[in-house]
C-alpha cells in the first residue's frame, strides 16, 4: 500500500485556481503597502531556537515547530537536554526585530517595512486556523511618534478596503488595561491570567467568562471588571483618570484619524489584550462581523530589539490575517480570479513546431498570456486541452497557414474560425 496523498493536519495543498487567487490577493496587499511607502523585506523561515524563545512570544512559544539537531551535534547532546537547536518562525515580527538589529545601519530611519510570508504554529487546526499560514505585515521601526500607529492602521485599512471590506477597528493600550486591572484590585501575579481570560471575550459566552474570572481573581475583582471593562459603554473620564499617558496616546491617534477613511469605524476597547507579550503601548485589531476573531491587528513594541542589540528601538506594526481574509472573500464569492489565458497555441506537427514557437513568442511579447501545447495529442485533444485551460482562443498553424504566413484563430466560446496574421490580432485590453 502506498503512502497517503493527504497533507498533514493543519497543512494544505492548493490547486492552480486557488493558488492564483491567493497570489492576486497578495499582489493587491503588496501594492497597497507600497503605496504607503513601505519597502519589501524577507527573512529566513528558520530561526535559532534561542531567538524564538528569547522574548515576547507568550503562548506561541509553546507552539514552535522545533528542528532536531543533526549529525554529530545531535550525538553529543547530553541526556535530558534540548534536542533541537532551530525552529520555524511563528510570526514575522520577531524575525523583523532580528533583521533590523543586523541591518539598521543600511536602512533609512524610520524604516517602513512590509513582509508577506508563511509562518508555522503547532496548534490544533480548525476552521480559519492552520498550522501553516500566511501573514501580511506592515511595520515602522525607529520612531516614537503616534503617526506610526496612524500610518500602519491606515495602510491595513486601505488593504481591506481594496477588497470592499470596511472592518471595525478596536483600539486600546497595554498600560491602560494594566491600570484598570490595578484599580479592580487584581493582584500583580494574577494580571497575566486575567489578560488571557479577557482575550477570550469574543470566543466564549459572557457568563462562562465571568465565572472563570471569579475563579481566577475573586468575585469582587470580577464584578468590578464586569462593570468597568466588560460593560458596553466606555467611561472616557474614568479611563483618562486611570491612565492619563495611555489615554493621551490613544486620543492623539483617534484625533488624527478623525478625517480619514476609518472615521466612524474606530472604537475604544479597554478590554483589548492582543496575545503577544512584546506589546508595550497602543494595540489595535480589525474586526469583521462574519468572524469571531480578528482579521488583522498589531500595536507598539518598543523593546523587542533588546535581545539582539541590548537596547530597545521604538516600533509599531500590524499584520493582516491572510487566511481569514481569504475565508471572507471565498464565502462572499469575491475571490480574485487569475489572469485570463488569452490563447493556446497548437502544434500541428513536429515539422511545424518552429512556427508555433515563433507565434507564441510574438504574442507573449505583445503582452498576451499564451500556453504552447506541450502534449502529444492530435488537434482534437489540443482543443480539449485549451477548453480545460479556459483559454479564449486556440491558434492553429497548419501547412497551408505556414506557407501563406498566416495563422488560424478559433474563438473557443463561439467556435468561429478566422484566418489572420499574428500582427493583426487584437492587443490585450483593446
Q: Which residue has the cell 481574509?
A: 325
Average pLDDT over residues 88-114: 96
Q: Which residue has the higher pLDDT, 195 or 89?
A: 89
- pTM of the shown model: 0.88
Q: What are the φ and ψ backbone dihedral angles of 174, each rounded to 5 degrees?
A: -55, -45
Given this model, what pLDDT does residue 402 score? Answer: 95
Distances (CA, A) of 280 to 4, 157, 196, 315, 371: 46, 22, 16, 10, 52
Given this model, what pLDDT does residue 426 score? Answer: 62
Average pLDDT over residues 350-375: 95
Which grid coordinates are listed for 192?
Answer: 497575566
Given this model, what pLDDT does residue 429 score? Answer: 46
Share of the chain above pLDDT 70, in %: 94
Given this model, what pLDDT does residue 430 score? Answer: 40
Which grid coordinates are listed for 44?
Answer: 529566513
DSSP 13-57: ---HHHHHHHHHHHHHHHHHHHHTT-EE----SEEEHHHHHHSS-
Question: 16-46+91-331: which CATH architecture?
Answer: 2-Layer Sandwich (3.30)
Given this model, what pLDDT does residue 338 score? Answer: 73
Given this model, what pLDDT does residue 242 score? Answer: 83
- Would you kindly state where each structural domain of the chain is located, as residue ranges? 16-46+91-331, 343-424
Q: Which residue has the higher pLDDT, 189 or 101?
A: 101
Query: Cβ-count burial of 190 within 10 angstroms (0-12 exposed, 13-18 middle, 19+ buried)?
Result: middle
Identify the bridge partners of residue 87 per DSSP, sorted by sequence position. 47, 66
pLDDT digits (tens, 9 = 90+) for 3-50: 899 999 999 999 999 999 999 999 999 999 999 999 999 999 999 999
Per-residue pLDDT band for 192 (boundaries 50, 70, 90) equals confident
Q: How far apart are CA 96 and CA 115, in angstroms?
A: 9
Long-range CB pairs of 394-400 (<8 Å, 24+ gap) are 394/343, 394/344, 394/346, 395/343, 395/344, 395/345, 395/346, 395/359, 396/346, 396/348, 397/345, 397/346, 397/348, 397/352, 397/355, 397/356, 397/359, 398/348, 398/352, 399/348, 399/352
Question: 343-424: which CATH architecture?
Answer: 3-Layer(aba) Sandwich (3.40)
Per-residue pLDDT band for 108 (boundaries 50, 70, 90) equals very high
Does position 332 have pLDDT exceeding 60, yes or no?
yes
Enumerate residues 6+ apart whose C-beta is below 8 A from 65: 87, 88, 120, 121, 122, 131
Q: How far apart are CA 354 and CA 257, in angstroms?
A: 60
Per-residue pLDDT band for 364 (boundaries 50, 70, 90) equals very high
Q: Pairing mode, if any, of strands 315-321 and 46-48?
A: unpaired
Given this model, what pLDDT does residue 13 score? Answer: 95
Amino acid at each position: 500500500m502506498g503512502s497517503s496523498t493527504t497533507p498533514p493536519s493543519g497543512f494544505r495543498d492548493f490547486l492552480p485556481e486557488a493558488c492564483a487567487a491567493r497570489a492576486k490577493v497578495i499582489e493587491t496587499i503588496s501594492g497597497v503597502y507600497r503605496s504607503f511607502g513601505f519597502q519589501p523585506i524577507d527573512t529566513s523561515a528558520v530561526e535559532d531556537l534561542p531567538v524564538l524563545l528569547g522574548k515576547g512570544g507568550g503562548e506561541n512559544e509553546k507552539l514552535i515547530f522545533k528542528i532536531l539537531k543533526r549529525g554529530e551535534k545531535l550525538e553529543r547532546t547530553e541526556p535530558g537536554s534540548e534536542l533541537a537547536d532551530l525552529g520555524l518562525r511563528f510570526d514575522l515580527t520577531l524575525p523583523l526585530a532580528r533583521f533590523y538589529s543586523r541591518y539598521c545601519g543600511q536602512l533609512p530611519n524610520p524604516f517602513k517595512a512590509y513582509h508577506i510570508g508563511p509562518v508555522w504554529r503547532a496548534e490544533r487546526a480548525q476552521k480559519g486556523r492552520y498550522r501553516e499560514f500566511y501573514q501580511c505585515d506592515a511595520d515602522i521601526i525607529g520612531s516614537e511618534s503616534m503617526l506610526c500607529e496612524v500610518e500602519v492602521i491606515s495602510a491595513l485599512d486601505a488593504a481591506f478596503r481594496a477588497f470592499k471590506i470596511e472592518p471595525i477597528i478596536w483600539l486600546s493600550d497595554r498600560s491602560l488595561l494594566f491600570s484598570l486591572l490595578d484599580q479592580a484590585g487584581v493582584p500583580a501575579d494574577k494580571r497575566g491570567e486575567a489578560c488571557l481570560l479577557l482575550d477570550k471575550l469574543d470566543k466564549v459566552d459572557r457568563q462562562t467568562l465571568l465565572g472563570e474570572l471569579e475563579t481566577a481573581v475573586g468575585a469582587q475583582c470580577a464584578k468590578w471588571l464586569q462593570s468597568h471593562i466588560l460593560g458596553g459603554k466606555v467611561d472616557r473620564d474614568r479611563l483618562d483618570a486611570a491612565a492619563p499617558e495611555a489615554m493621551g496616546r490613544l486620543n492623539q491617534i483617534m484625533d488624527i484619524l478623525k478625517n480619514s477613511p476609518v472615521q466612524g469605524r474606530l472604537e475604544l476597547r479597554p478590554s483589548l489584550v492582543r496575545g503577544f507579550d512584546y506589546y508595550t503601548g497602543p494595540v489595535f485589531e480589525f474586526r469583521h462581523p462574519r468572524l469571531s476573531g480578528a482579521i488583522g491587528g498589531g500595536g507598539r513594541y518598543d523593546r523587542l530589539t533588546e535581545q539582539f542589540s541590548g537596547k530597545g528601538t521604538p516600533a509599531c506594526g500590524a499584520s493582516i490575517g491572510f487566511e481569514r481574509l481569504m475565508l471572507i472573500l471565498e464565502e462572499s464569492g469575491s475571490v480574485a480570479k487569475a489572469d485570463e489565458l488569452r490563447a493556446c497555441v497548437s502544434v500541428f506537427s513536429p515539422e511545424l513546431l518552429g512556427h508555433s514557437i515563433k507565434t507564441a513568442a510574438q504574442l507573449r511579447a505583445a503582452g498576451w498570456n499564451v500556453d504552447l501545447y506541450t502534449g502529444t495529442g492530435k488537434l482534437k485533444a489540443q482543443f480539449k486541452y485549451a477548453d480545460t485551460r479556459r483559454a479564449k482562443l486556440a491558434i492553429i498553424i497548419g501547412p497551408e497557414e505556414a506557407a501563406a504566413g498566416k495563422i488560424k484563430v478559433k474563438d473557443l466560446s463561439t467556435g468561429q474560425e478566422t484566418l489572420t496574421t499574428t500582427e493583426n490580432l487584437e492587443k490585450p485590453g483593446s
